[in-house]
């Protein structure tokens, strides 16, 4: 699954019906929104989503100025499991 994280400072992205329809047309099937006091983060995911080919269209759909946005692409993905425990058999 492809992923792109858009960090926006000094503004709020548009996640209305038109924007989400445009994102869906780009192959985005999931959107998560995170924020702190200064920055909004939008996590876009989708099996048919091609972030490298659609950055300009994503920013246009979100109504985000490229100058006020940072784009983060995933470097690695891993599963984390608890370590198996060994118990003495009685």
Q: pLDDT tens across 35-84, in order?
A: 999 999 999 999 999 999 999 999 999 999 888 899 999 888 888 988 87
pLDDT at 9 over 70: yes
The band of 89, judged by pLDDT with boundaries at 50, 70 and 90, is: low
| Tokens 């993905």 belong to residue | 77
Residue 77: predicted pLDDT: 85
Q: Give me the CATH number covering residue 50.
A: 3.30.70
For helices 17-25 and 51-62, angle between their N-to-C axes, nearest 10 degrees: 170
Q: What span, in angstroms and rounded, lies between the C-alpha atoms of 10 and 85? A: 48
In a domain, 21, yes or no: yes
Q: Is residue 85 included in any domain, yes or no?
A: no
pLDDT at position 8: 95
Tokens linked to 81: 């499991």
CA-CA-CA-CA torsion sign (43, 58, 66, 52): positive
pTM: 0.84
> How many separate domains does the chain show?
1
Residue that has been written with the tokens 């979100």 in this structure:
62
In a domain, 89, yes or no: no
């Amino acid at each position: 699954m492809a992923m792109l994280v858009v960090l926006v400072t000094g503004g709020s992205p548009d996640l209305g019906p038109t924007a989400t329809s445009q994102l869906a047309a780009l192959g985005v099937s999931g959107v998560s929104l995170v924020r702190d006091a200064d920055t909004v983060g939008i996590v876009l995911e989708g099996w048919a989503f091609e972030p490298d080919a659609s950055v300009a269209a994503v920013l246009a759909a979100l109504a985000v100025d490229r100058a006020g946005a940072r784009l983060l692409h995933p470097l690695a993905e891993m599963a984390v499991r608890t370590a198996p425990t060994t118990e003495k058999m009685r």
